[in-house]
Every structure is written in C-alpha cells, then in structure tokens.
Copies of this chain bind each other. A is one copy, B any other.
Amino acid sequence: MSLPTVSTSTRIGWIGLGVMGAPMCGHLLRQGHPVTVFTRTPSKAASVLAKGAKWVESPLAVAEASEVVFTMVSSPLDVRQVYLGEAGLLKGARSGSLLVDMTTSAPSLAREIFKAARSRGMQSIDAPVSGGDVGAREATLSIMIGGEEEAVDAIVPLLGALGRSIVRQGGPGMGQQAKLCNQIVIAGTMVGVCESLVYGYKAGLNLETMLASITTGAAACWTLTNLAPRILRRNFNPGFLVDHFLKDMGIALDEAAQMGLVLPGLALVQQLYFAVQSQGHGKSGTHALILALERLSNTEIEPR
C-alpha cells in the first residue's frame, strides 16, 4: 500500500476532544493542517472549531475527509465503536489511510484493529501517551508507539508536534504494552505514598516535615513530590481520573491473565481503587486513594 507523505497540507482527522484531545488537536491546527473532527459531545469541539477545524457527523465521515486520523477517546469500548462500529473509521477510510489511536487501550484490541485495517489496505498504529493534561497542553507528552515500521515512519513528524519523548516500542499493540508498564509502576507508587501518609499521620508526625526527609532519597518518586502535597491540602481535583486509572488497571490485569502472569500488587491496588470509586470518587484524581486507606483505618488526615 502507499502511505501518505506528511506535509502541512496533509488532511488530518481527529476524534475525541476531551482534556487531552482538544489541546493536542490544537497543536496540529496551529501547524496549518486542514483538520476534520468528530466527538461524542459536540460542545467539546468548540475550541478547535474556533481555530478552523471542520465538524462532521461520524467517525466514518472523518475518515472520508482525512489521510491521517488520530483518536483520543476514553476506553477500549469507545475505541472499538469508533474504529469497528456501524459508522466507524474503517467504513470510511480509503486504502493507504493511517489511523493512530492515542487512547490508553487494550493491546489485544490494538492488534485486532491493526489486522482489520490492514485487510482493507490501511495502517493502524497505537500511540498512547503519558504526561497528562499539562503534557498535552505544552506538547511535552511521552508517546509510546506500536505499529509497522513504515507506517510509524510516516507519522513520527506529526507526533513531534505533540510530544517530546517519542519512542518506538515494537509492532502493533506494543505502544499499549509500554503504557501499561507505566501504569503498573504508578499503582505501586500510589499505594506506597498513600500508606506512608496515613501511617505518618497516625504516628503523629508533621507530614510536611516527614516529606522533607524522604522526598530526595530512595523513596523519591513523582507521586510523592507532586501528589502528596495535594493530599495534605485535601485537594482531590484530577490530574488523572480514578475511573480512567481503573480502566487501565483492568486492561493490564486482563492482559496479564491471558499471558499467565500473576500481579498481586496491581490486583490489590485495583481493589483499593474500586473502594475509592464506591465512595463516590470515580471523578476525583488518583491520589484520592488515600480516602480508601483512611476509611479502612477509620481515620482522616486533618490539615494542620
């Protein structure tokens, strides 16, 4: 198949304009690309329409208008619908189209979409990101890419507008696998940091002073530096949603089960996050894990 050669006239499609997708799509608009968009909640398209994007009524219509389509939606279910559904991308895309899923989704689904796309002469790539809303706005995301080499070559110039660390992780699905590795580490740091804070509080420590001793040594981690202070201020705004983290942990544990892999730490953290969700904090940031740990011990860290 012949892949598009990317230039600023390459016609881009973008699906999913949430807290991540909207600023990312904006970066491509700023580079001068004609951009066609669709998103489930049309009001979320306002900012990119104001910058010159064109609205259409379905993923199928986005694909018809575009050479390269990016997707940044919420869950594997949404990814499946957008790619493989009735009015999905694969129904509208022409042979030679490039489809790039930046959602954190299931590696097995990425491989399924890759095969379905290839059978129609298209290429699909998985390219999930880390770096959060700040990384999306500042174009400093870490992008983990899975896909066939020639297709990845073709889109790397576009990804350069979105992120700073752009690393090829292997064939179809391997970008997703690397992203899941990232989430597994975070699950560990979150439980360690939150248990440490509830321990220190019950022990009567001044938690700011405790953090001053431990943030620079062998316990140092992004979660301790960035999220522990928010917990002490009882600010549970996301950051990264509990609901989304649970989605990612569920994918990782499903994939692990398929590989015969036992991950007791991740499984426990998942259970604790279900407790956070059942306390009504699915839309809070991941550091709301402290709320489940506090409830387990019938305590609450009070701001000093």
Residues of A within 8 A of B (CB): 107, 130-132, 135, 142, 144, 165, 167-170, 174, 177-178, 180-193, 195-200, 202-206, 209-210, 212-214, 216-224, 226, 240, 252, 255-256, 259-266, 268-269, 272, 293, 296-299
Contact = CB atoms under 8 A, between A and B. Distances in A.
A261 B198 contact: yes
A199 B269 contact: no
A204 to B, nearest CB: 7
B205 A177 contact: yes
A222 B222 contact: no
* Majority secondary structure of chain A interface residues (helix, strand, loop or mixed): helix
27 contacts: A165-B212, A169-B206, A169-B209, A169-B213, A170-B204, A174-B205, A177-B200, A177-B210, A181-B199, A181-B219, A182-B214, A182-B219, A183-B219, A188-B195, A189-B192, A192-B192, A198-B261, A199-B261, A202-B260, A217-B222, A218-B222, A218-B226, A219-B222, A260-B298, A261-B297, A264-B296, A265-B269
A178 B213 contact: yes
Contacts of A260: 202, 297-298
Nearest to A286: B218
Nearest to A130: B217
A259 B221 contact: no
